[in-house]
Amino acid sequence: MKKRLNIGILGLGTVGSGVLHILKEHQEKISQVTGYTMGIKTALVRQIEKHQNQTDIHLTTDVETILKDPEIHIIVEVMGSIEPAKDYILQALKQGKHVVTANKDLIALHGNELTQVAKENHCDLYYEASVAGGIPILRALVDSLAADNIKKVMGIVNGTTNFMLTKMAKNGLSYEAVLAEAQALGFAEADPTNDVDGIDAARKMVILSRLAFGMNLPLSAISTGGIRSVTATDIQIAHQLGYTIKLIGAAEEQNGTIHGMVGPMLLPNEHPLSGVNNENNAVFVTGSSVGETMFYGPGAGELPTATSVVSDLITVAKNIRMHTTGDGFSHYQHETKLTAKEDIQAKYYLRLNMTDQTGTFLKLTQLFAAHQIGFEQIIQQPFDQNSAMVIIITHQGSKEQLDQAIAGLESDSDMVLKARFDVLEESICTKDY
Amino acid sequence: MKKRLNIGILGLGTVGSGVLHILKEHQEKISQVTGYTMGIKTALVRQIEKHQNQTDIHLTTDVETILKDPEIHIIVEVMGSIEPAKDYILQALKQGKHVVTANKDLIALHGNELTQVAKENHCDLYYEASVAGGIPILRALVDSLAADNIKKVMGIVNGTTNFMLTKMAKNGLSYEAVLAEAQALGFAEADPTNDVDGIDAARKMVILSRLAFGMNLPLSAISTGGIRSVTATDIQIAHQLGYTIKLIGAAEEQNGTIHGMVGPMLLPNEHPLSGVNNENNAVFVTGSSVGETMFYGPGAGELPTATSVVSDLITVAKNIRMHTTGDGFSHYQHETKLTAKEDIQAKYYLRLNMTDQTGTFLKLTQLFAAHQIGFEQIIQQPFDQNSAMVIIITHQGSKEQLDQAIAGLESDSDMVLKARFDVLEESICTKDY
């Protein structure tokens, strides 16, 4: 008979229930690939009554029951938030228990500390489910792309906002209308700030950067914007110009330094990320050797996220069998150096309203010329009786100079900047032969 | 100082040169993640003179120099073809050397035997580069999706034909014209049979099926078609009907049985595989829990394929460090059962020429009705003075009944079947809310 590995699970919400389901449904395969039977022994819940009919596993409201149980080998943390999850995980690691977590906030903010404690206690700590739900992107970066020098990681890593932008594009709806719809469907929370302002995506970029570049990109160094300023008009005009607007998180290496951003970005329609719709996620990785690869799939949801948690559990089980636990998820580390602002290149989409009088347009072009920023495309349309709407796609230039030109624009009372989004320069996959 | 792992490489063509390049360029990262310095000690080549200026590593025309060298720990086989590659690999494994190969033909046809010999000799045998070049799909199936029951694997796994179909679609060119262009660019061989008739793709489906389902789908059981019968007309009509034609390899599990096919397939335009263009590859995996994921990237080429080879080398090096070599790439195995033909569902696109006289169309509809196959869409256009071109997209039905209806059609002198392609039923990712 195969030896049993006991799991203690902290939290029995959506993802926790999914983990329960998968461990039960796929037990034959899991047992074959790991050499163990794996099952949840005890679950930490807030209210025992709420879950009594859901499962026959042991329920507790006291975390000590799990942390002090010598029969429990692995802890799955799917509570979310920083505390008390962090405290519980630290205690578990110090007791010699391996940990699998889906907690992106915790890993983004305290991943290094937790990794260090795991190492000191010869324990495994895995967190595949913390980024892009069911997409095995972290393992791909650490294992499969280990042979390559990764130059750029760029992704649609927030399902809520991707659902919203897809709806806006397909049905010509406003931000407010799709937000209400996303909330009604349970894709967006009552307070959508974390999603729509790009905060969730920025946290995921911290985790992706750590594994892709071996560096710690601080959250505060990620230039972070959200989708509140995206209008149906922007989406429609971008489409006419050959672009699709997506909320993109990107981190890029440049001469040993890195920089990151989150914000709405215009992608060429032929770019693989442009076709990633609804609540799906995708991460596009550029390596100096492999070129461009993309990993696509469900970014959230009970079973997809739980699949990633269970794949981590399988890895821990294999490590236990091979006596190789505690080796760490990634060995790739570099001193973190941030790219100086003057070295960052960018290309912008700008939408502004301008008083419709002789000379304003000249002022605008003089302003950009003074900062050596050229225009790739310009569209001017009447906005109302006294003003015009102007859309500009700039050429690529220094981000610092671009931002100086924009500061000049914002200080001119004849012009009002309504939207400023990044534009992706052509990449290999959108080029023709 | 770090211990050195010596590699012997069999073949120094495109992929071999790429491996050389990557091991040199990325040595710092590779050394950090593995704990070893890795380098090629000796290369087996056909003509030493040809490579003397290319590299300063030791060149030999005698394989024994490598196989009998006790300082060489790992063999990289990038010669291609079955023999003598198979013989060399068997000898290497029996000498206790680990093997990394990019040889899809060998792994498709003799993978089980080689895996068995590797196991008996406690050696590693990895072959990530054998399917879809730079895309880490095999490791994703074995590690990341181990937690899931995989239901279907479907992919664009042949870059040559995808390049050709992309060109035909974009420029309205004929099969013959794009074949000539692909040959001129070096994407297609002088004898393109293996690519254009789907043989290469079928071999890759054998490998994918083995890892996805733990079963051995014999090459002879894969219904295999190629792109010779695809015309610019088909591509254009399909596009009008909302579909993109791609050469698809698919393998699907159904109640513990599997079946596979390779052939041109009409995919809904919104399907992520529809946007995979030029020589790129992508593998679309459906799991019972994770849902739909896709892995996209370069399917061939010097550096992408070499990246996969080197990622396997890194895995071997980690296994050596952890003393866990010889554990096998995949532990997932099932008795192979093929799906009975009457249980396979299909949906077809048919293009036929029909004599333009009263009653022929009635005969056609009666024929399909007799086999209980309904039509989803029909287009009839004049072809020449005496005949009409008819395009049919059937409803989904039993493949056996569909094929019987088609046999009836082919035995009728008033109808000539010009093309028969599969049509993908709608999947989750193409559905709207």
CATH number at residue B369: 3.30.70.260
Residues A368, A369, A375, A379: is their CA dihedral positive or negative?
A: positive
Residue A115 has pLDDT above 50, yes or no: yes
Residues B152 and B286 in one domain: yes
In a domain, A165, yes or no: yes
My answer on whether B286 and B313 are in the same domain is no
Highest mean pLDDT among A28-32, A45-49, A353-357, B245-249: B245-249
Type of residue at A405: A
Confidence at residue A360, expressed as pLDDT on a 0 to 100 scale: 87
Q: Which positions of A are catalytic?
A: 204
At A429, the pLDDT band (50, 70, 90 cuts) reads: low
DSSP string, A127-142: -GGGSSTT--HHHIII
- Give the tens place of pLDDT for each residue, B236-285: 999 999 999 999 999 999 999 999 999 999 999 989 999 999 999 999 99
In this predicted structure, what is the pLDDT of residue A431? 54
Output B28-34 pairs: Cβ under 8 A, ≥24 positions apart.
B29/A146, B29/A149, B29/A332, B30/A146, B30/A147, B30/B310, B30/B314, B30/B317, B31/B2, B32/A214, B32/A331, B32/A332, B32/A333, B33/A146, B33/A330, B33/A331, B33/A332, B33/B314, B33/B318, B34/B5, B34/B314, B34/B317, B34/B318, B34/B321
Instruction: Taking the CA atoms of B296, B298, B303 and B306 in sequence, report the sign of the dihedral they define.
Output: positive
- Residues B274 and B187 placed together within one structural domain of the fold: yes
pLDDT given at position A226: 97
- Is B198 annotated to bind a ligand? Reply is no
Largest CA distance in chain A: 87
For residue A215, give the DSSP letter: -
Answer whether A195's CB lies under 8 Å from A178's CB.
no
State whether B183 and B262 are in the same domain: yes
Give me the pLDDT at residue A433, please: 46
Q: Identify the CATH number of the domain in which residue A79 sits.
A: 3.40.50.720
Cβ atoms of residues B227 and B175 within 8 Å: yes
Cα distance between residue A299 and residue A133, in whole Å: 4
Quick check: is A333 in a domain? no
**Same domain assignment for residues A309 and A204:** no
Residue A189 lies in a domain: yes
Three-state secondary-structure class, residue B66: helix
* 3-class secondary structure, B397: strand
* Number of domains present in the structure of chain B: 3
Q: Which residue has the tokens 């997809």?
A: A304
Task: Give the closest-approach CA distance of A122 to chain B in angstroms.
Answer: 14
* β-pair type (B345-346, B397-398): antiparallel
Residue with tokens 């088609």: B406
Q: Residue A400 domain-assigned?
A: yes
Residue A331 lies in a domain: no
Put simply, the chain B residues between 311 and 370 with a CB less than 8 A from any chain A CB are 311, 313-315, 322, 324, 327, 330-333
Distance from CA of B121 to the nearest CA of A (A): 18
User: Is 60 exceeded by the pLDDT of residue B432?
Assistant: no
Q: Is residue B189 marked as binding?
A: yes
Tokens (6 digits) for B26: 């990325």
Task: Please give the residue range of the domain that contains residue B293.
Answer: 148-298
Strands A72-77 and A4-10: parallel
pLDDT at A427: 60
Q: Is B180 on the interface with A (CB under 8 A)?
A: no
Contacts for B32 with CB less than 8 Å, ≥ 6 apart: A214, A331, A332, A333
Residues of chain B contacting A324 with CB distance shorter than 8 Å: 322, 324
DSSP β-ladder status, A125-126 and A98-101:
parallel
pLDDT over threshold 80, residue B80:
yes
Q: Name residue A385's amino acid.
A: Q
Q: Which of 81-110 (A) contact B at CB < 8 A?
A: none
Same structural domain, B43 and B25: yes
CB B252 within 8 A of CB B152: yes
What is the DSSP annotation of B128-187?
A: GGGSSTT--HHHIIIIITTTS-EEEEEEE--HHHHHHHHHHHHH---HHHHHHHHHHTTS
DSSP label at residue A338: B
CATH of the domain at B261: 3.30.360.10
Residue B158 and residue B27 share a domain: no
Task: Check residue B274 and report its DSSP letter.
Answer: G
DSSP secondary structure string, A59-101?
EES-HHHHHT-TTEEEEEE---SSTTHHHHHHHHHHTT-EEEE
- The CA distances from residue B213 to A270, B218, B259, in Å, are 33, 13, 11
- Tell me, yes or no, whether A275 lies in a domain: yes
Is the distance from CB of B325 to CB of B121 less than 8 angstroms?
Answer: no
Q: Return the pLDDT at A201.
A: 97
Q: Is A391 helix (H, G, I), strand (E, B) or coil?
A: strand
Q: Kindly state whether residues A190 and A218 are assigned to the same domain.
A: yes
Q: What is the pLDDT of residue A19?
A: 96
Q: Which of B53, B45, B55 is nearest to B20 (CA)?
A: B55
How much is the pLDDT for A331? 78
Domain for residue A328, yes or no?
no
Does one domain contain both B68 and B124?
Answer: yes
B282, B382: one domain: no
Q: Return residues 142-161 of A near B (CB < 8 Å).
A: 143-149
Where a domain ends, among A262, A288, A322?
A: A322
Answer whether B304 sits within 8 Å of A290, measured CB to CB: yes
Q: Would you say B301 and B284 are in contact if contact means Cβ atoms under 8 Å apart?
A: no
Identify the pLDDT of residue A144: 83
For residue B366 the two structure tokens come to 């009666």
Q: Judge if B280 and B161 occupy the same domain.
A: yes
Q: Are A198 and A285 members of one domain? A: yes
Whether B179 and B167 have beta carbons less than 8 Å apart is answered as: no
Measured in degrees and rounded to the nearest 5, phi and psi for residue A391 equal -110, 130
Has residue A290 been placed in a domain? yes
Task: Report how far residue A237's alpha carbon sits from residue A257's, in angstroms, rounded to the nearest whole number.
Answer: 35
Inter-CA distances, B48 with A134, A203, B11, B19, B60, Å: 49, 53, 11, 18, 7
Query: How confident is the prediction for chain B on average, in pLDDT?
Result: 92
Least confident segment among A236-250, A316-330, A335-349: A316-330
pLDDT digits (tens, 9 = 90+) for A281-312: 999 999 999 999 999 999 888 999 999 999 99
Interface contact A184, partner B, CB < 8 A: no
Cα–Cα distance for residue pair A114/A94, rounded to 1 Å: 11
Give the DSSP H or E segment for A337. none
A422 touches chain B (CB under 8 A): no
Distances in whole angstroms, Cα of residue B97 to Cα of each of B109, B124, B413: 22, 8, 62
Of the candidates A60, A62, A88, A56, the residue with the CA atom closest to the CA atom of residue A75: A88
A52: Cβ–Cβ under 8 A, 6 or more apart, which residues?
A: A59
**Residue A256 contacts B, CB cutoff 8 Å:** no
- Res A62: pLDDT: 96
pLDDT digits 0-9 by tens, A349-369: 999 999 988 888 889 999 999
Residue A122 pLDDT > 80, yes or no?
A: yes
Residue B428 clears pLDDT 60, i.e. is over it? no
